[in-house]
Chains A and B, each alone.
Chain A
Amino acid sequence: MNTPVQKPNKPGIEPKPHTQAFWEAANSDKLLYQYCLDCQKPQFVPSSVCRKCHQKNLDWRESSGQGFVFTYSIIHRAPNAAFKDDTPYPIAMVDMAEGFRITANILNCPPERVYIGMPVRVVFETRDGSDYKIPQVEPAE
């Protein structure tokens, strides 16, 4: 009898106290970023303090979800079995319109179409084994 091979799940999200709001918003298809009310500057990844003034006067803001690919790679060798079937897949650093940077895969895009400066928008991916949706990007043009 053949037992189907169980593909392992991709890593799930374990929110920290200062990232809980981010992940809960992701489940409502919203991309949040931190904003320091003293410095008037965005920051990402979230922290318990502002990285510029080191105070805790941080607020959450919602991003437009629009950004550009600052750089990328096409991954041919996956880190583990959960990503193996996706190869080759793009990973990118995306600079968002509000002035912060995220890392994401570029979905709905053949790897050879990716380029530096490519406009992208955020989409939210539902994953097996994850309680939270994952913010990803796709081509905006």
Chain B
Amino acid sequence: MAKKAVISGVYNTKVGVLEGSTCMSIHAESGIGAVEDAGLKLGDIDGVLTAYATTLPHIMLGSVFCEDVGIRPAHLSSISMGGATGTMLIQEAAALVEAGYCQHVLCVTGDNRVTGHGSNVVSVISSMVGHPEFENPFGITVPASYAMVAQRYMHDYGLTNEHFAAAAVTCRKHAALHPDAHMQKPIEIDDVLNSKMIAEPLHMLDCCLISDGGGAVVVSAADTVPDLRKKPITILGSGQGHTHEHIMMAPETLDHFGCKFSAEAAFKKAGVTPQDIDVAEIYDCFTSTLLIQLESMGFYERGASGEAAVNGELEIGGALPTNTHGGLLSFGSSGAAGGLWHVVEAVRQLRGEAGQRQVKDAELAFAHNQGGIFSAHCSLVLGDAS
């Protein structure tokens, strides 16, 4: 009989421009913070999983972290799957716990993308993502790659710039309720539509932020619950989906991606449907990414998520409260930490710790990360174990 895995601790640093921070100082604060939140000591951690960091492109980031904070875990690895890494760390940690390799696995992420890269950040990230021979020679960018998907999706299913803008407005409203969020100043739909064009049809305020910050999650074996400080949250289901790396190689209609498969697998394992979800924390590197994924994963019919966003359905108090911390669009985005914050928020909602952002009676949460250009996906269904 496999052991059950629960989420026992979560943490996020302040997010924004963190002067004096380094990639490792952010990792240390995050890791120690999550372990304390769980009511554990660093010495209790027998497994560590890290992501990658663009400001510290080391081939063994996990070893760098463990050396830095002074731990010698029995199990250690680093996963590098872009924006999808956050939820993948949780899925991997759960597998280690369920297979009996570890009791307490610390998943830790962080980057100081603003203070670490300076004005180079756009070219640093873009050059990593495009195909070196068949995309980069054409001056492709990350926003342009997502913009091409958005353009076709608007053409086929009728989503509009106003729909996308409504998603940005919703995320900003939520971020205003989170003391650690990067951007809190309220915005209106017109602010999004009037913001600088980046890659048509995407404006500046359709794009996620670039932030410094980190986050961490501790995954523990269910039989350690008596040692834990907070209400454990159960990982009820998880799944992945992978279809391509470069957007020109994606399934050719550009309307379904690995999120369809990752969500299906996670829902099936959890024995629930999208309609059962009380709160959704979904990777939103662009407003269009959020809406297209909501439709691809079965939360809305094709073309219907836009009106839902305009009508406030994605707001706290709406039918499907989404990105209740503000998401990558307004809470912040810092490499793999961006996605992990979606998990951190889902856990806080299920614990009833979300304060002003609390979704009433939240019992079932969905967290989804994706990396590349809709390339790699990992979904989680989380529930209140009690």
Measured CB to CB, the closest approach of chain A to B209, in angstroms, equals: 15
Measured CB to CB, the closest approach of chain B to A49, in angstroms, equals: 14
Q: Is the CB of B196 within 8 A of A79?
A: no
The CA-CA distance from A23 to B132 in the complex, in Å, is 13
Give the most central of B131, B147, B196: most A CB within 10 Å.
B147
Given contacts A13-B133, A16-B133, A93-B248, contact A76 B197 (CB under 8 A): yes
Q: Is the CB of B148 within 8 A of A89?
A: no
Q: A123: CB under 8 A from chain B? A: no
Contacts of B200 in A (CB 8 A): 73-74, 76, 88, 111
B window 158-217: CB within 8 A of A:
196-202
Q: A71: CB under 8 A from chain B? A: yes
Q: Is the CB of A79 within 8 A of B133?
A: no
A window 81-116: CB within 8 A of B:
82-83, 86, 88-89, 91-93, 95, 101-105, 111, 116
Q: Is the CB of B132 within 8 A of A79?
A: no
Contacts of A83 in B (CB 8 A): 139
Contacts of B252 in A (CB 8 A): 70, 95, 101
Contacts of A76 in B (CB 8 A): 196-200
**Cross-chain contact of B144 among A91, A102, A130 (Cβ < 8 A):** A91
A window 64-79: CB within 8 A of B:
70-79
Stretch of B109-117, B121-129, B230-238, B308-316 on the interface side: B121-129
Q: Is the CB of B133 within 8 A of A73?
A: no
Q: Is the CB of B152 within 8 A of A116?
A: yes
Measured CB to CB, the closest approach of chain B to A1, in angstroms, equals: 28
Q: A14: CB under 8 A from chain B? A: yes
Q: Is the CB of B123 within 8 A of A77?
A: no
Contacts of B201 in A (CB 8 A): 73
Chain B, residues 19-48, CB within 8 Å of chain A (1/0): the string is: 000000000000000000000000000000
Q: Is the CB of A73 within 8 A of B148?
A: yes
Give the most central of B135, B144, B148: most A CB within 10 Å.
B144
Q: Is the CB of A75 within 8 A of B144?
A: yes
The CA-CA distance from A44 to B143 in the complex, in Å, is 23
Given contacts A78-B139, A102-B134, A116-B152, contact A73 B248 (CB under 8 A): no
Q: A45: CB under 8 A from chain B? A: yes
Q: B149: CB under 8 A from chain A? A: yes
Q: Is the CB of A105 within 8 A of B199?
A: no
Q: A122: CB under 8 A from chain B? A: no
Q: B136: CB under 8 A from chain A? A: yes
Seen from chain B, the residues whose Cβ lies within 8 Å of a Cβ on chain A are 122-123, 126-127, 130-141, 143-144, 147-149, 151-152, 155, 196-202, 246-249, 252, 254
Additional 18 contacts, C-beta under 8 A, given A77-B122, A86-B139, A91-B148? A10-B137, A10-B139, A11-B132, A45-B248, A73-B143, A73-B148, A73-B200, A75-B139, A75-B144, A79-B126, A79-B141, A82-B139, A92-B148, A102-B248, A103-B134, A116-B152, A116-B155, A130-B137
28 CB-based A-B contacts, threshold 8 Å: A11-B137, A13-B133, A71-B254, A73-B148, A73-B201, A74-B197, A74-B200, A76-B198, A76-B200, A77-B196, A77-B199, A78-B139, A78-B141, A79-B130, A80-B122, A80-B123, A88-B200, A91-B139, A93-B248, A102-B134, A103-B135, A103-B248, A104-B138, A105-B138, A116-B151, A130-B137, A134-B138, A136-B138
Seen from chain A, the residues whose Cβ lies within 8 Å of a Cβ on chain B are 10-11, 13-16, 19, 23, 44-45, 70-80, 82-83, 86, 88-89, 91-93, 95, 101-105, 111, 116, 130, 134, 136
